[in-house]
């Protein structure tokens, strides 16, 4: 039995199951709010207790893999946006699991592309795909994650890092004004300061201050802005979401250009499925393709939104099951 997990600053997805004929079959799964737990060990202990509770004999977990939001050093991750240390060797010893791997969450997401079904994919730009060409997996949630996929002997080589913390390069006059506003308040502006859930809040606050708009209620987050924009037609929230989408498109296009990703750019993470109508309305691809002398080449790159929130978990399961 395989244990797979997707561990982020907002939520933890855990499932026990098996890989059968190229599909992940779940025996038991659970979602946890990261903020409700002091560390990942407590989450895993609760999960394993629930897994065993309805059974006379607990399922035997022999392999595990966890995709974790942060840089991997050895077999452990100190998370970037949460004070958790996820140590694969320590987990193996504590819970008696023979083999535990810890990987970057976007390494897991990239691996999970293989297990997606057509219904999990929405094409924003068909492009002209080239089989075996480089791919980019990029997703916004609590932070911004990026991984590159390069074809190698026997499959795909995944290169995951901390590209969300690379500098944000404004690509239009309003983005320049946004950059200046953020820089004046915080100093260096990273891509995930703009393209993430907190980034959408930063964008709204920038527009509100510039136009004397109403402040968000205390504690309100990106979900409140996107809901007001998509469901209520709030003008300021709509403008904030449009600016977010154009920044997302510009950043994704830069990464696509970096490796000429004719194999496709996959938009993942928690935000993309929730704002899919706005992503599909044209602003994202317009910003994605605005690459000067290379605009024509970038238009040939397919852009696909992934709607399955379990992508990282699927990839972790596939990695755990690999020989």
Per-residue pLDDT tens over the stretch 47-105: 999 888 776 556 789 999 999 999 999 999 999 888 999 999 999 999 999 999 999 99
Rg (CA), the chain: 20
Average pLDDT over residues 9-24: 92
Give which of 92, 88, 67 is closest to 12, Cα–Cα. 67
Poorest-confidence range of 57-61, 159-163, 177-181, 202-206? 57-61
At 103-113, the pLDDT tens digits run: 999 999 999 99
The pLDDT of residue 160: 92
Separation CA 30–CA 50 (nearest Å): 9
Structural domains in the chain, CATH included, are 2-112+310-321 (3.30.420.40), 119-307 (3.40.367.20)
Separation CA 305–CA 280 (nearest Å): 9
Average pLDDT over residues 201-217: 86
| Residue 137, beta-bridge partner list | 147, 266
- For 270, list phi and psi in degrees, rounded to 5: -75, -25
Separation CA 215–CA 209 (nearest Å): 9
Average pLDDT over residues 163-170: 96
Report yes or no: 304 and 117 within 8 Å, Cβ to Cβ.
no
The pLDDT of residue 225: 93
Report yes or no: 100 and 64 within 8 Å, Cβ to Cβ.
yes
User: Considering the chain, what percentage of its residues have pLDDT values greater than 90?
Assistant: 85
Contacts of 93 (CB under 8 A, 6+ apart): none
With a cut of 60, say whether residue 134 has pLDDT above it. yes
With a cut of 90, say whether residue 273 has pLDDT above it. yes
């Amino acid at each position: 039995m395989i244990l797979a997990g997707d561990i982020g600053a907002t939520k933890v997805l855990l499932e026990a199951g098996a890989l059968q004929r190229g599909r992940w079959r779940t025996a038991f799964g659970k979602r946890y709010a990261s903020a409700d737990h002091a560390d990942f060990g407590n989450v895993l202990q609760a999960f394993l207790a629930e897994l065993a509770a309805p059974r006379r004999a607990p399922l035997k977990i022999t392999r595990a893999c966890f995709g974790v939001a942060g840089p991997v050093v050895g077999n452990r991750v100190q998370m970037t946006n949460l004070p958790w240390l996820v140590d694969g060797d320590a987990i193996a010893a504590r819970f008696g699991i023979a083999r535990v791997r810890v990987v970057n969450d976007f390494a897991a997401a990239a691996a999970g592309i293989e297990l997606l079904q057509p219904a999990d994919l929405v094409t924003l730009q068909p492009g002209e795909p080239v089989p075996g060409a480089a791919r980019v997996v990029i997703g916004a949630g609590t932070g911004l994650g990026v991984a590159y996929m390069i074809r190698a002997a026997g499959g795909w080589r995944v290169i995951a890092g901390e590209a969300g913390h690379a500098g944000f390069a404004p690509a239009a006059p309003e983005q320049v004004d946004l950059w200046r506003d953020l820089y004046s308040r915080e100093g260096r502006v990273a891509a995930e300061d703009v393209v993430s859930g907190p980034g959408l809040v930063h964008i709204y606050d920038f527009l509100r201050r510039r136009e004397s708009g109403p402040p968000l209620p205390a504690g309100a987050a990106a979900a409140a802005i996107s809901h007001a924009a998509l469901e209520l037609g709030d003008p300021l929230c709509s403008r904030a979401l449009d600016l977010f989408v154009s920044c997302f498109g510009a950043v994704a296009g830069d990464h696509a250009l970096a490796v000429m990703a004719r194999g496709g750019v996959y938009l993942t993470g928690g935000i993309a499925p929730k704002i899919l109508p706005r992503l599909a309305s044209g602003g994202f691809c317009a910003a994605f393709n605005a690459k000067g002398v290379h605009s024509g080449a970038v238009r040939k790159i397919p852009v696909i939104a992934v709607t399955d929130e379990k992508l990282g978990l699927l990839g972790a399961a596939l990695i755990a099951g690999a020989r």
